[in-house]
Structure 1
Amino acid sequence: MPVDIPSQVKDPELLRARRAQIVDAAVTLFSEKGFHKTTTRELARASGLSIGALYEYVQSKEDVLYLVCQHIHQEVESALRHTLSEHASAAVRLQSAIEGFLSVMDDMQDDVLLIYQESKSLPGPFLHEVLAHEQRITAVFEHLLQEGVKDGSFGLVPTDLPVLAHTIVVSGQMWAFRRWALKEVSFGTFAKAQVEMLMKAACTTSGRGLE
Protein backbone atom coordinates (compact mmCIF):
# COMPACT_ATOMS: atom_id res chain seq x y z
CA MET A 1 0.00 0.00 0.00
CA PRO A 2 1.28 3.51 -0.82
CA VAL A 3 2.42 5.53 2.16
CA ASP A 4 -0.23 8.04 3.21
CA ILE A 5 1.03 11.63 3.25
CA PRO A 6 -1.03 13.78 5.62
CA SER A 7 -2.60 16.95 4.28
CA GLN A 8 -4.60 19.81 5.76
CA VAL A 9 -6.78 19.82 2.63
CA LYS A 10 -9.89 17.65 2.84
CA ASP A 11 -11.16 18.08 -0.74
CA PRO A 12 -9.71 15.04 -2.60
CA GLU A 13 -10.00 16.64 -6.05
CA LEU A 14 -8.24 19.81 -4.93
CA LEU A 15 -5.58 17.75 -3.16
CA ARG A 16 -4.97 15.68 -6.30
CA ALA A 17 -4.79 18.76 -8.53
CA ARG A 18 -2.42 20.72 -6.31
CA ARG A 19 -0.15 17.75 -5.72
CA ALA A 20 0.01 17.22 -9.48
CA GLN A 21 1.19 20.85 -9.80
CA ILE A 22 3.80 20.26 -7.11
CA VAL A 23 5.02 17.05 -8.73
CA ASP A 24 5.32 18.66 -12.18
CA ALA A 25 7.39 21.47 -10.73
CA ALA A 26 9.50 19.12 -8.62
CA VAL A 27 10.36 16.82 -11.55
CA THR A 28 11.82 19.79 -13.42
CA LEU A 29 13.66 21.26 -10.44
CA PHE A 30 15.02 17.97 -9.08
CA SER A 31 16.23 16.99 -12.59
CA GLU A 32 17.94 20.34 -13.11
CA LYS A 33 19.32 21.07 -9.63
CA GLY A 34 19.06 17.84 -7.67
CA PHE A 35 16.92 17.15 -4.64
CA HIS A 36 19.22 18.62 -2.00
CA LYS A 37 19.97 21.84 -3.88
CA THR A 38 16.30 22.58 -4.56
CA THR A 39 14.78 24.75 -1.86
CA THR A 40 11.24 24.61 -0.57
CA ARG A 41 10.82 28.23 -1.64
CA GLU A 42 11.76 27.29 -5.23
CA LEU A 43 9.33 24.37 -5.14
CA ALA A 44 6.50 26.58 -3.95
CA ARG A 45 7.21 29.29 -6.53
CA ALA A 46 7.47 26.81 -9.42
CA SER A 47 4.21 25.19 -8.25
CA GLY A 48 2.40 28.54 -8.23
CA LEU A 49 1.92 28.38 -4.46
CA SER A 50 3.13 30.25 -1.42
CA ILE A 51 5.30 28.35 1.02
CA GLY A 52 2.42 28.32 3.48
CA ALA A 53 0.08 26.90 0.85
CA LEU A 54 2.65 24.27 -0.15
CA TYR A 55 2.70 22.95 3.40
CA GLU A 56 -1.05 22.47 3.29
CA TYR A 57 -0.50 19.68 0.73
CA VAL A 58 2.78 18.14 1.93
CA GLN A 59 4.74 18.21 5.17
CA SER A 60 8.30 18.07 3.85
CA LYS A 61 10.50 18.07 0.76
CA GLU A 62 10.86 14.31 1.25
CA ASP A 63 7.09 14.03 0.84
CA VAL A 64 7.46 15.74 -2.52
CA LEU A 65 10.27 13.41 -3.60
CA TYR A 66 8.14 10.40 -2.68
CA LEU A 67 5.21 11.76 -4.71
CA VAL A 68 7.56 12.32 -7.65
CA CYS A 69 8.88 8.75 -7.51
CA GLN A 70 5.35 7.35 -7.25
CA HIS A 71 4.20 9.48 -10.18
CA ILE A 72 7.08 8.32 -12.39
CA HIS A 73 6.57 4.66 -11.52
CA GLN A 74 2.82 4.93 -12.15
CA GLU A 75 3.48 6.45 -15.57
CA VAL A 76 5.95 3.70 -16.43
CA GLU A 77 3.68 0.91 -15.20
CA SER A 78 0.62 2.32 -16.97
CA ALA A 79 2.48 2.65 -20.27
CA LEU A 80 3.94 -0.86 -19.91
CA ARG A 81 0.58 -2.47 -19.16
CA HIS A 82 -0.88 -0.68 -22.18
CA THR A 83 1.43 -2.78 -24.37
CA LEU A 84 0.15 -6.08 -22.99
CA SER A 85 -2.25 -8.31 -24.89
CA GLU A 86 -4.01 -11.53 -24.02
CA HIS A 87 -4.44 -12.53 -27.67
CA ALA A 88 -0.97 -13.75 -28.63
CA SER A 89 1.64 -16.22 -27.50
CA ALA A 90 3.69 -15.33 -24.46
CA ALA A 91 6.74 -14.78 -26.68
CA VAL A 92 4.92 -12.20 -28.79
CA ARG A 93 3.57 -10.51 -25.67
CA LEU A 94 7.00 -10.45 -24.04
CA GLN A 95 8.64 -8.92 -27.10
CA SER A 96 5.89 -6.31 -27.35
CA ALA A 97 6.27 -5.50 -23.64
CA ILE A 98 10.05 -5.15 -23.92
CA GLU A 99 9.68 -2.86 -26.95
CA GLY A 100 7.06 -0.80 -25.13
CA PHE A 101 9.16 -0.60 -21.97
CA LEU A 102 12.20 0.56 -23.94
CA SER A 103 10.09 3.23 -25.61
CA VAL A 104 8.89 4.45 -22.21
CA MET A 105 12.49 4.56 -20.98
CA ASP A 106 13.36 6.75 -23.96
CA ASP A 107 10.43 9.08 -23.30
CA MET A 108 11.05 9.26 -19.53
CA GLN A 109 14.82 8.93 -19.33
CA ASP A 110 15.27 12.08 -17.23
CA ASP A 111 12.56 10.92 -14.82
CA VAL A 112 14.05 7.44 -14.47
CA LEU A 113 17.48 8.90 -13.83
CA LEU A 114 15.97 11.15 -11.17
CA ILE A 115 14.65 8.15 -9.24
CA TYR A 116 18.03 6.42 -9.33
CA GLN A 117 19.92 9.51 -8.25
CA GLU A 118 17.60 10.83 -5.57
CA SER A 119 15.53 7.99 -4.07
CA LYS A 120 18.33 7.27 -1.59
CA SER A 121 17.28 10.48 0.16
CA LEU A 122 13.85 9.06 1.03
CA PRO A 123 13.01 7.98 4.60
CA GLY A 124 12.78 4.22 5.11
CA PRO A 125 9.02 3.69 4.65
CA PHE A 126 8.97 5.84 1.52
CA LEU A 127 11.97 4.07 0.02
CA HIS A 128 10.44 0.68 0.83
CA GLU A 129 7.30 1.56 -1.13
CA VAL A 130 9.25 3.00 -4.07
CA LEU A 131 11.27 -0.23 -4.30
CA ALA A 132 8.07 -2.27 -3.99
CA HIS A 133 6.62 -0.37 -6.96
CA GLU A 134 9.78 -1.11 -8.93
CA GLN A 135 9.26 -4.78 -8.08
CA ARG A 136 5.66 -4.64 -9.34
CA ILE A 137 6.93 -3.42 -12.70
CA THR A 138 9.50 -6.23 -12.77
CA ALA A 139 6.76 -8.73 -11.91
CA VAL A 140 4.98 -7.91 -15.18
CA PHE A 141 7.93 -9.38 -17.06
CA GLU A 142 8.30 -12.33 -14.69
CA HIS A 143 4.64 -13.22 -15.30
CA LEU A 144 5.16 -13.12 -19.08
CA LEU A 145 8.19 -15.38 -18.72
CA GLN A 146 6.15 -17.81 -16.62
CA GLU A 147 3.48 -17.88 -19.33
CA GLY A 148 6.16 -18.54 -21.94
CA VAL A 149 7.45 -21.52 -20.01
CA LYS A 150 3.89 -22.87 -19.80
CA ASP A 151 3.21 -22.55 -23.54
CA GLY A 152 6.64 -23.87 -24.55
CA SER A 153 8.00 -20.64 -26.00
CA PHE A 154 10.85 -20.36 -23.50
CA GLY A 155 13.37 -22.91 -22.33
CA LEU A 156 13.83 -21.59 -18.81
CA VAL A 157 13.92 -23.12 -15.35
CA PRO A 158 12.06 -21.44 -12.47
CA THR A 159 15.19 -19.91 -10.93
CA ASP A 160 15.92 -18.12 -14.23
CA LEU A 161 12.68 -16.17 -14.24
CA PRO A 162 13.24 -13.47 -11.59
CA VAL A 163 16.82 -12.94 -12.74
CA LEU A 164 15.81 -12.45 -16.36
CA ALA A 165 12.87 -10.24 -15.39
CA HIS A 166 15.21 -7.94 -13.48
CA THR A 167 17.68 -8.05 -16.38
CA ILE A 168 14.96 -6.83 -18.74
CA VAL A 169 14.09 -3.90 -16.47
CA VAL A 170 17.71 -2.89 -15.87
CA SER A 171 18.50 -3.25 -19.58
CA GLY A 172 15.76 -0.75 -20.37
CA GLN A 173 16.76 1.62 -17.60
CA MET A 174 20.32 1.54 -18.89
CA TRP A 175 19.22 3.95 -21.62
CA ALA A 176 18.69 6.52 -18.87
CA PHE A 177 21.67 5.99 -16.58
CA ARG A 178 24.29 4.98 -19.19
CA ARG A 179 23.28 7.39 -21.92
CA TRP A 180 26.48 9.39 -21.34
CA ALA A 181 28.41 6.37 -22.65
CA LEU A 182 25.92 5.65 -25.46
CA LYS A 183 25.70 9.12 -26.97
CA GLU A 184 26.93 7.82 -30.35
CA VAL A 185 24.25 5.09 -30.39
CA SER A 186 20.75 5.87 -31.65
CA PHE A 187 17.77 4.76 -29.61
CA GLY A 188 16.62 2.55 -32.52
CA THR A 189 19.95 0.71 -32.57
CA PHE A 190 19.95 0.34 -28.78
CA ALA A 191 16.37 -0.94 -28.67
CA LYS A 192 16.88 -3.44 -31.49
CA ALA A 193 19.99 -4.88 -29.83
CA GLN A 194 18.30 -5.13 -26.44
CA VAL A 195 15.19 -6.85 -27.81
CA GLU A 196 17.29 -9.38 -29.71
CA MET A 197 19.54 -10.15 -26.73
CA LEU A 198 16.72 -10.38 -24.22
CA MET A 199 14.54 -12.58 -26.40
CA LYS A 200 17.54 -14.82 -27.04
CA ALA A 201 18.13 -14.99 -23.29
CA ALA A 202 14.55 -16.20 -22.89
CA CYS A 203 15.54 -19.09 -25.18
CA THR A 204 12.88 -18.47 -27.76
CA THR A 205 13.31 -21.11 -30.42
CA SER A 206 13.67 -19.93 -33.98
CA GLY A 207 10.35 -18.42 -34.96
CA ARG A 208 8.34 -20.38 -32.42
CA GLY A 209 5.73 -18.26 -30.65
CA LEU A 210 6.65 -15.18 -32.69
CA GLU A 211 4.57 -15.91 -35.75
Structure 2
Amino acid sequence: MSQSPAPARRRRGNARGEQTRSVLLAAAVRAFADRGFHGTSTRDIALAADMSPAVMYAHYATKEDLLFELSLDGHRSVQVLLDAEVGRHASNTDRLRAAASCFGQWHAEFHTQARVVQYELNALTAEHLAEVTVLRRAIQGLFGDLIRAGVDEGVFQVADAEMTAMSLTSLGIDVARWYRPTGAWTPEQIGHHHGRLALRAVGVAD
Protein backbone atom coordinates (compact mmCIF):
# COMPACT_ATOMS: atom_id res chain seq x y z
CA MET A 1 0.00 0.00 0.00
CA SER A 2 1.38 3.35 -1.00
CA GLN A 3 -0.75 6.33 -1.76
CA SER A 4 -0.01 10.02 -1.77
CA PRO A 5 -2.30 12.23 0.25
CA ALA A 6 -5.42 13.03 -1.78
CA PRO A 7 -6.22 16.68 -2.42
CA ALA A 8 -8.92 18.21 -0.26
CA ARG A 9 -10.71 21.36 -1.39
CA ARG A 10 -8.39 22.67 -4.06
CA ARG A 11 -9.03 26.21 -5.19
CA ARG A 12 -9.77 26.63 -8.85
CA GLY A 13 -6.98 28.21 -10.78
CA ASN A 14 -4.31 27.65 -13.34
CA ALA A 15 -1.60 25.00 -13.16
CA ARG A 16 0.97 27.51 -11.95
CA GLY A 17 -1.26 28.52 -9.05
CA GLU A 18 -1.83 24.88 -8.12
CA GLN A 19 1.92 24.26 -8.15
CA THR A 20 2.52 27.28 -5.93
CA ARG A 21 -0.03 26.06 -3.40
CA SER A 22 1.51 22.58 -3.42
CA VAL A 23 4.93 24.05 -2.68
CA LEU A 24 3.50 26.18 0.13
CA LEU A 25 1.72 23.19 1.67
CA ALA A 26 4.89 21.11 1.57
CA ALA A 27 6.84 23.93 3.19
CA ALA A 28 4.17 24.36 5.85
CA VAL A 29 4.27 20.66 6.72
CA ARG A 30 8.02 20.78 7.26
CA ALA A 31 7.88 23.99 9.26
CA PHE A 32 4.99 22.92 11.49
CA ALA A 33 6.62 19.52 12.09
CA ASP A 34 9.96 21.11 13.03
CA ARG A 35 8.76 24.10 15.07
CA GLY A 36 5.13 23.45 15.88
CA PHE A 37 2.28 25.61 14.62
CA HIS A 38 2.72 28.39 17.18
CA GLY A 39 6.49 28.42 16.75
CA THR A 40 6.20 28.90 12.98
CA SER A 41 5.67 32.28 11.35
CA THR A 42 4.23 32.94 7.93
CA ARG A 43 7.66 34.28 6.98
CA ASP A 44 9.20 30.92 7.96
CA ILE A 45 6.84 29.14 5.59
CA ALA A 46 7.43 31.59 2.75
CA LEU A 47 11.21 31.30 3.13
CA ALA A 48 11.02 27.49 3.23
CA ALA A 49 9.02 27.64 0.00
CA ASP A 50 11.55 30.08 -1.50
CA MET A 51 8.81 32.64 -1.99
CA SER A 52 8.02 36.08 -0.69
CA PRO A 53 5.39 36.48 2.04
CA ALA A 54 3.32 38.46 -0.48
CA VAL A 55 3.08 35.42 -2.76
CA MET A 56 1.98 33.27 0.15
CA TYR A 57 -0.72 35.73 1.18
CA ALA A 58 -2.07 35.68 -2.35
CA HIS A 59 -2.97 32.02 -1.81
CA TYR A 60 -3.44 31.68 1.96
CA ALA A 61 -4.54 34.57 4.14
CA THR A 62 -3.14 33.01 7.33
CA LYS A 63 -0.94 30.13 8.39
CA GLU A 64 -4.06 28.61 9.98
CA ASP A 65 -5.56 28.34 6.49
CA LEU A 66 -2.55 26.24 5.52
CA LEU A 67 -2.97 24.02 8.57
CA PHE A 68 -6.66 23.58 7.80
CA GLU A 69 -6.00 22.48 4.23
CA LEU A 70 -3.29 20.10 5.41
CA SER A 71 -5.71 18.68 7.97
CA LEU A 72 -8.42 18.15 5.38
CA ASP A 73 -5.93 16.57 2.98
CA GLY A 74 -4.67 14.15 5.59
CA HIS A 75 -8.01 13.04 6.96
CA ARG A 76 -9.63 12.71 3.55
CA SER A 77 -6.66 10.72 2.26
CA VAL A 78 -7.07 8.28 5.14
CA GLN A 79 -10.80 8.06 4.63
CA VAL A 80 -10.45 7.27 0.91
CA LEU A 81 -7.74 4.71 1.60
CA LEU A 82 -9.72 2.97 4.34
CA ASP A 83 -12.82 2.73 2.17
CA ALA A 84 -10.78 1.22 -0.67
CA GLU A 85 -8.91 -1.28 1.50
CA VAL A 86 -11.98 -2.40 3.44
CA GLY A 87 -13.95 -2.77 0.20
CA ARG A 88 -11.45 -5.31 -1.10
CA HIS A 89 -12.47 -7.88 1.53
CA ALA A 90 -15.63 -9.84 2.27
CA SER A 91 -15.24 -11.14 5.83
CA ASN A 92 -15.42 -8.89 8.87
CA THR A 93 -12.15 -10.34 10.12
CA ASP A 94 -10.29 -9.44 6.93
CA ARG A 95 -11.96 -6.05 6.75
CA LEU A 96 -10.93 -5.05 10.27
CA ARG A 97 -7.40 -6.35 9.74
CA ALA A 98 -7.12 -4.36 6.49
CA ALA A 99 -8.46 -1.18 8.12
CA ALA A 100 -6.06 -1.33 11.07
CA SER A 101 -3.15 -2.27 8.83
CA CYS A 102 -3.54 0.54 6.31
CA PHE A 103 -4.31 3.06 9.07
CA GLY A 104 -1.08 2.27 10.90
CA GLN A 105 0.95 2.11 7.70
CA TRP A 106 -0.36 5.46 6.45
CA HIS A 107 0.72 7.15 9.68
CA ALA A 108 4.22 5.76 9.15
CA GLU A 109 4.52 6.52 5.43
CA PHE A 110 3.23 10.07 5.83
CA HIS A 111 4.47 10.56 9.39
CA THR A 112 5.46 14.20 8.94
CA GLN A 113 2.07 15.33 7.69
CA ALA A 114 0.30 12.96 10.07
CA ARG A 115 2.18 14.38 13.05
CA VAL A 116 1.06 17.88 12.08
CA VAL A 117 -2.60 17.11 11.36
CA GLN A 118 -3.01 14.85 14.40
CA TYR A 119 -1.20 16.90 17.02
CA GLU A 120 -1.84 20.52 15.97
CA LEU A 121 -5.64 20.30 15.91
CA ASN A 122 -6.05 22.79 18.75
CA ALA A 123 -4.52 25.49 16.55
CA LEU A 124 -7.49 25.35 14.16
CA THR A 125 -10.33 27.82 14.47
CA ALA A 126 -13.52 26.48 16.01
CA GLU A 127 -15.21 26.36 12.60
CA HIS A 128 -12.33 24.55 10.94
CA LEU A 129 -11.91 22.15 13.84
CA ALA A 130 -15.59 21.25 13.62
CA GLU A 131 -15.20 20.35 9.94
CA VAL A 132 -12.13 18.21 10.58
CA THR A 133 -13.84 16.58 13.55
CA VAL A 134 -16.59 15.30 11.25
CA LEU A 135 -13.94 13.43 9.26
CA ARG A 136 -12.25 12.10 12.39
CA ARG A 137 -15.54 10.75 13.71
CA ALA A 138 -16.29 9.12 10.37
CA ILE A 139 -12.95 7.31 10.45
CA GLN A 140 -13.46 6.11 14.00
CA GLY A 141 -17.05 5.25 13.09
CA LEU A 142 -15.82 2.97 10.32
CA PHE A 143 -13.79 0.99 12.84
CA GLY A 144 -16.77 0.89 15.19
CA ASP A 145 -19.06 -0.37 12.43
CA LEU A 146 -16.61 -3.11 11.51
CA ILE A 147 -16.30 -4.22 15.12
CA ARG A 148 -20.05 -4.21 15.71
CA ALA A 149 -20.59 -6.20 12.53
CA GLY A 150 -18.15 -8.81 13.75
CA VAL A 151 -19.82 -8.93 17.16
CA ASP A 152 -23.26 -9.36 15.57
CA GLU A 153 -21.85 -12.19 13.48
CA GLY A 154 -20.50 -13.86 16.61
CA VAL A 155 -16.90 -13.66 15.41
CA PHE A 156 -15.63 -10.78 17.59
CA GLN A 157 -15.78 -10.68 21.37
CA VAL A 158 -15.52 -7.19 22.89
CA ALA A 159 -17.12 -5.55 25.89
CA ASP A 160 -17.38 -2.11 24.27
CA ALA A 161 -17.15 -1.69 20.49
CA GLU A 162 -16.82 2.10 20.66
CA MET A 163 -13.97 2.01 23.16
CA THR A 164 -12.22 -0.68 21.13
CA ALA A 165 -12.53 1.44 17.98
CA MET A 166 -11.08 4.43 19.80
CA SER A 167 -8.20 2.32 21.12
CA LEU A 168 -7.34 0.97 17.67
CA THR A 169 -7.41 4.37 15.96
CA SER A 170 -5.36 5.88 18.79
CA LEU A 171 -2.69 3.22 18.28
CA GLY A 172 -2.53 4.04 14.59
CA ILE A 173 -2.37 7.79 15.16
CA ASP A 174 0.45 7.40 17.68
CA VAL A 175 2.65 5.84 15.00
CA ALA A 176 3.19 9.33 13.58
CA ARG A 177 4.66 10.43 16.91
CA TRP A 178 7.32 7.75 17.27
CA TYR A 179 8.01 6.49 13.73
CA ARG A 180 11.37 7.35 12.18
CA PRO A 181 12.48 6.30 8.67
CA THR A 182 15.80 5.16 10.15
CA GLY A 183 14.07 3.00 12.75
CA ALA A 184 13.89 -0.78 13.01
CA TRP A 185 10.55 -1.25 11.22
CA THR A 186 9.24 -0.38 7.78
CA PRO A 187 5.76 1.11 7.29
CA GLU A 188 4.67 -2.23 5.84
CA GLN A 189 5.83 -4.10 8.95
CA ILE A 190 4.08 -1.59 11.18
CA GLY A 191 0.88 -1.96 9.19
CA HIS A 192 1.03 -5.75 9.39
CA HIS A 193 1.58 -5.57 13.14
CA HIS A 194 -1.38 -3.23 13.64
CA GLY A 195 -3.60 -5.56 11.64
CA ARG A 196 -2.68 -8.43 13.97
CA LEU A 197 -3.18 -6.26 17.05
CA ALA A 198 -6.67 -5.32 15.88
CA LEU A 199 -7.72 -8.96 15.58
CA ARG A 200 -6.34 -9.78 19.01
CA ALA A 201 -8.23 -6.82 20.45
CA VAL A 202 -11.51 -8.34 19.27
CA GLY A 203 -10.66 -11.85 20.41
CA VAL A 204 -9.60 -13.37 17.09
CA ALA A 205 -6.42 -15.43 16.81
CA ASP A 206 -4.65 -14.47 13.57
Band of TM-score, shorter chain: 0.7 to 0.9
8 Å contact kept, 2:32–2:116: yes
Residue matched to 1:94: 96
Answering whether residue 180 of structure 2 is matched by residue 177 of structure 1, we say no
Q: Rg larger in 1 or in 2? A: 1
Equivalences for residues 31-46 of structure 1 within 5 A: 31-46=33-48
- Alignment gaps of 5+ in structure 1: none
8 Å contact kept, 1:95–1:195: yes
Partner Cα separation in structure 2 for residue 44 and residue 178 of structure 1: 28
Cα 1:161/1:47, change in 2 over 3 Å: same
Listed one character per residue, the Cα deviations across residues 128-184 of structure 1 (whole Å, up to 9, x for unaligned) are 222222212112211212322333322346xx222111111001122222459xx98
Residue matched to 1:162: 162
Residue matched to 1:57: 59
8 Å contact kept, 1:34–1:118: yes
Q: Report the secondary structure of 1:186's partner residue.
A: coil
Answering whether residue 20 of structure 2 is matched by residue 21 of structure 1, we say no
Partner Cα separation in structure 2 for residue 143 and residue 203 of structure 1: 16
Name the aligned partner's letter for residue 203 of structure 1.
Answer: G
Answering whether residue 152 of structure 2 is matched by residue 150 of structure 1, we say yes
Displacement after TM superposition at 1:48 (Å) = 4.7
Listed one character per residue, the Cα deviations across residues 88-114 of structure 1 (whole Å, up to 9, x for unaligned) are 211111112111112112112222222
8 Å contact kept, 1:112–1:176: yes
Cα 1:197/1:46, change in 2 over 3 Å: closer
Partner Cα separation in structure 2 for residue 64 and residue 154 of structure 1: 41
8 Å contact kept, 1:105–1:176: yes
> For this pair of structures, how many residues does the alignment match?
195
Equivalences for residues 104-115 of structure 1 within 5 A: 104-115=106-117
Q: Report the secondary structure of 2:86's partner residue.
A: coil
8 Å contact kept, 1:80–1:104: no
8 Å contact kept, 1:58–1:64: yes
Partner Cα separation in structure 2 for residue 100 and residue 191 of structure 1: 6
Answering whether residue 185 of structure 2 is matched by residue 186 of structure 1, we say yes
After superposing the two structures, state which structure 1 stretch, 183-192 or 129-138, moved more: 183-192
- Alignment gaps of 5+ in structure 2: 1-8
CA RMSD across the alignment: 3.0
Identity %: 24
